[in-house]
Amino acid sequence: MNDPFGTPDSVLVLGGTSDIARALVRRLVARGTKKVMLTGRDRARLDVVAAELRSDGADAVTSLEFDATDVAGAASIVDSAFAEAGRVDLIIVAVGLLVDDAQEERDPAKVAESIAVNFAWPAVALARVAEHLRSQGGGHAVVLSTVAAVRVRRANYVYGSAKAGLDEYARNLHQALAGSGAGITVVRPGFVHSKMTVGRPPPPMSTTPDAVAEDVVRGLERGAEVVWSPARLRLIFAVLRLLPEVLWRRLPM
Amino acid sequence: MPERVAVDPAPTTGAGRGSVGERPGDARLLAGWGRTSPTIARVLEPDSAAAVDAPLSGERRGCIARGLGRSYGDAAQCAGGVVLDTRRLDAIGEIDAETGVVDVGAGVSLDRLLRVGLRDGWFIPVSPGTRQVSIGGAIAADVHGKNHHRDGSFCRHVSSITLHTPGGVHEVGPEADPELFWATAGGMGLTGVVTSARVAMRRVESAWMRVDTEQHGDIDSLMTALERVDASHRYSVAWVDCSASGRQLGRGILDAADHAAASEVTGRRAARLLRPPPERALSVPPIVPRWAINPLTVAAFNEAWFRKSPSRPGHLRHLSGFFHPLDALANWNVVFGRRGFLQYQFAVDDAHRELVPRTLELLQRARCPVTISVLKRFGPGDPGPLSFPIPGWTLALDLPVGPPALRDTLRGLDEAVASAGGRVYLAKDARLGRDMFQAMYPRLSEFQAVCRRVDPEGVLTSDLARRLGICEDSSS
């Protein structure tokens, strides 16, 4: 159950080592979240995050390991997580894989992997999450998207188009959930300094996992369907998404 | 009669309905009066006492009764489970002309019982601050009124209850299975579904109250006056100006009252000696912007309220204005907007009276505006393990959700109340933690033993019960 201040009592993270998810959960724990279940690919790193959350005072457990390229297995991962956690008030979907290397983008296996991890796996997992939220009579999911999903750019079009699919999917699933007590918030950060982007030159208006987490917490508080981080990206992309293709592809980004 | 419940517009179309499959009942989003933390449940509306048995025996995702939805928090909701709306259990029997005893259905509102009774000169034995409370809810919360120092809380005036539990139907009272009866009094619906009760009404000569109003300039003077009128008046209550600080901290208005005898009611009022409360209530449009409720506007409101009530002995006021001033507005809870509001009500004994001014100071320092606050005296409590009142003081505060410091300030208050041997009222609570709850209600294990007896499978539960672990045996 959320408390009256909008803080969920129990949280499930799919992709628990994501820097943004980690910052977000720490913030929620500071605001009163008691139970956290972490799932992801890398057991050792999940354990580190869980230990950190326990020292913050949460009852945090590392749970299932999964491989986000195994799209068919997504539903059963979600089922087991709910079976173990009981009621979950907030689900954070933070699986993702940045593919923006020109060589990799020409590799069919890499394209398949990017679409699996950035779109197919989270979409299947969300479908299952939605069913659990319906039957438990409420709950919320946060889906990490990206501004690159709003207007896909050439520099990382494989990643961007997969995220664009997830972004559209999650927002429409939110509409489909109307009246069920459940909902979905899509988060569109700009360039975030994190382990995903190490070594890449930051564009203007880059941000940090902590800043994104703060924006998400405030977005959840006001019931936002989409959270931009930083918030001014919303205005900028309102313009950029209308830009003619000839201009768009010449932009230095 | 118009139904005034804090049910958010019932979204029974599309996804919400599809998800519940073929099971009976509409999926509805339910919240408490404070409108925080709504959840979805399937709502059934049993039209007979027997109709509550099927969900009680077969529901695996939990089941709880709901009356008029005036609990402020999550007491009458059950996420993913079944909520039994008892409002169709609405029979009112004959009021015994000698004793005032009457059999009433659990879904009857105090409003209706009062109207029916008043025709023959009967008033409800205990009245909370609103008439829009069901009999079942009044028992489940063991509600108290302005006469607690003299007459105790509601269940003291109940001689028997028909209680439907997963283990069968029980007729209980202070003599018949007192353990189950008193666990049900204040048990927040977790011992079973009350379908009807036998209540003793109070004889009155008029619908008018003789009220002594006193303005007091600080908290000490106000509290001393409240203690003084314990002996002289059946009803007493104080409104506290929570914005006033410094030497005026806790200034307020004391109303002490008794039912007016027929001979005291003169003039035009005498012609309508037993005038019922007004039928219609105004509706508040939900357009008050969030910034409109802030420490400054609340202070201005309090200043005006304080000034409009100078000391005035022995004036007549209609009982609806005295007991239920806010019932004139059908949905005043919407003025707090989408985020809703909390009510924080605690009780402490006489030895810890300083907690009252300390609470006001703490909330002022944290810049948490209190829109309405009410201070009362409690007499001896009921024997129920979860019944709220303990002899001494009770302070109730309406707090809009929004100030960043509110959560931690209330947590700090919980600790102060618990260490003073006091407690927070579950019917108002939406946020208490398990540790604090267990500290405040040390007789919880007695209550859980009763629950295990009547509900071994643990069917009865609510969002409140899950949050506080009320039904779980913490020792196991």
Q: Which domains does chain B have, with CATH numbers?
A: 208-432 (3.40.462)
pLDDT at A56 over 60: yes
List b or e across B54-76, with b for residues whose CB sees 16 or more CB atoms inside 10 angstroms.
Answer: ebbeebebbbbbbbbbbbbbbbb
Question: Considering only CB atoms, which chain B residues are within 8 Å of A180?
Answer: 11, 15-16, 19, 27, 40
pLDDT at B2 over 50: no
Distance from CA of B103 to the nearest CA of A (A): 36
pLDDT at B18: 35
Task: Tell me what the mean pLDDT of segment B394-409 comes to.
Answer: 94
pLDDT at B238 over 70: yes
For the segment B269-289, what is each residue's pLDDT rounded down to a tens digit? 999 999 999 887 788 777 777
Choose the weakest-confidence range: A192-201, B31-40, B238-247: A192-201
Options A82, A119, A121, A159, the catalytic residue = A159
Q: Which CATH number fits domain A10-248: 3.40.50.720, 3.60.110.10, 3.40.50.2300, 3.40.190.290?
A: 3.40.50.720
- Using a CB–CB cutoff of 8 Å, tell me whether B73 touches chain A: yes
| pTM for the predicted model, two decimal places | 0.89
> Mind spelling out the 3-state secondary structure of chain B?
CCCCCCECCCCCCHHHHHCCCCCCCEEEEECCCCCCCCEEEEEECCCCHHHHHHHHHHCCCCEEEECCCCCCCCCCCCCCCEEEEHHHCCCECCCCCCCCEEEEECCCEHHHHHHHHHCCCEECCCCCCCCCCEHHHHHHCCCCCCCHHHHCCHHHHEEEEEEEECCEEEEECCCCCHHHHHHHCCCCCCCCEEEEEEEECEECCCCEEEEEEEEECCHHHHHHHHHHHHHHCCEEEEEECCCCCHHHCCCEEEEEEEECCHHHCCCHHHHCCCCCCCCCCECCCCCCCHHHCCHHHHHHHHHHHHHCCCCEEEEEEEHHHHHCHHHHECCHHHHHCCCCEEEEEEEECHHHCCHHHHHHHHHHHCCCCCCCEEEEEECCCCCCCCCCCCCEEEEEEEEECCCCCHHHHHHHHHHHHHHCCCEECCCCCCCCCHHHHHHHCCCHHHHHHHHHHHCCCCCECCHHHHHHCCCCCCCC
pLDDT at B243 over 50: yes
For the segment A72-126, what is each residue's pLDDT rounded down to a tens digit? 999 999 999 999 988 999 999 999 988 777 788 889 999 999 999 999 999 999 9
- Using a CB–CB cutoff of 8 Å, tell me whether B26 touches chain A: no
CB contact under 8 A, A136 and B338: no
pLDDT at B252: 96
Task: Tell me what the mean pLDDT of segment B248-263 comes to.
Answer: 96
Distance from CA of A13 to the nearest CA of B (A): 21
* Residue B366 burial by Cβ neighbours in a 10 Å radius (0-12, 13-18, 19+): middle
- Catalytic residue check, A159: yes
Choose the weakest-confidence range: A239-243, B116-120, B194-198: A239-243
CB contact under 8 A, A31 and B407: yes
For the segment B146-189, what is each residue's pLDDT rounded down to a tens digit? 999 999 999 999 999 999 999 999 999 999 999 999 999 999 99
Percent of residues, chain A, with pLDDT higher than 90: 67
pLDDT at B389: 97
- pLDDT: is B25 or B97 the higher one? B97
Distance from CA of B397 to the nearest CA of A (A): 16
Picking from A5, A90, A135 by the largest number of B CB atoms within 10 A of its own CB, the best residue to mutate is A5
- Using a CB–CB cutoff of 8 Å, tell me whether A214 touches chain B: no
Picking from B13, B37, B368 by the largest number of A CB atoms within 10 A of its own CB, the best residue to mutate is B37
- Asked if the interface predicted TM-score (ipTM) of this complex is over 0.85, the answer is no
Query: Which residues have CB under 8 Å from B224's CB, separation 6+?
Result: none
